[in-house]
Amino acid sequence: MSRKATRAAALACAALTLVSVLSSCASGNDAARSKTPVTYRAAYPSYDSLAALFKRADLVIQARLGDQTRIQTINPDTPTGDDPRLNPSAGVTAPAQTGPRDSSIVLTVYQAKVLKVFKGTAGKGQLIDVGQLGGESEGVVYAEAGTASLKKGGTQLLFLEVYPDAPASLLNPNQGQYDVDAAGNPISLPGNTLKFSLGDLNKLSQTGG
C-alpha cells in the first residue's frame, strides 16, 4: 500500500476511534444495535485562505453530482508507529480508543461528473467517486457529526484529495464543498468564513497556485 493510501486508511481509523456510540450499540444486542445510530467524530485541517486550500488539494473541480449514491465499506489497516502524520492515534491511551467491535468505515459514495477542472488530472465529463463518512449499512445508520452532506443532483465546487484505491474525499467537509451561483461563483456553507470568487479561483488555476 502506498504512503498516501496508508495515510487515507490511518485517517479513517482515527475517525473510528473517535466514534461516539450509545451503550446499546456497544452491547451484543443486535436488535438494539440495528436501531442505534453511530456518530463519527473526526478532526480535519482548516484553511485560512483560498491559496492554502487550493495548494493542499490534489483535484479542484466543478462537478454535477449524480442522483444516486452507494454505500462502500472500507476495512483500513491499523496504523502503527509514533508519526502522527501516518498514525493519528499515536499517543492516545488505550481506553480512549475503544469503540465498536467492527473497525470498518462506512462511506456514502457520490458519483461526480466533471464540468470544469481548476487543478489536477481529470477530464471534462469524467466520472469521479467522492466519499463521505456515514451512511446506512446492515440496518445501522452511521453519521458524521457537524458536517454537511454533498447534494445529490447538485452542481458544486469540490476541493479533493484523491487515493489510488478508495474514493476521493473532501479536504474538509465544510471548506471543501461549495454551491455555485448562476455566474459560477462559489457559495460558502454556513459556518465557513472562507469567501472567494470565481475570478480568484481562476487566477490560482492559471498560475498554479
Report pLDDT digits (tens) over 31-62.
Answer: 445 557 889 988 899 999 999 999 999 999 99
Structural domain contains residue 97:
no
Whether residue 22 lies inside any domain: the answer is: yes
- The predicted structure's pLDDT at residue 77: 60
Residue 116, domain extent: 3-90+102-207
Asked if the structure places residue 95 within a domain, the reply is: no
> What is the C-alpha to C-alpha distance for residues 111 and 167, in angstroms, rounded to an integer?
10
**Between 86 and 188, where is the model more confident?**
188
The mean pLDDT value of the chain amounts to: 80
Q: Check: CB of residue 175 under 8 Å from CB of residue 47.
A: yes
At 13, the amino acid letter reads C
Q: Is residue 187 part of a domain?
A: yes
More confident residue, 163 or 82: 163
160 domain residue, yes or no: yes
The Cα 205–Cα 187 span in angstroms is: 18
**96 in any annotated domain:** no
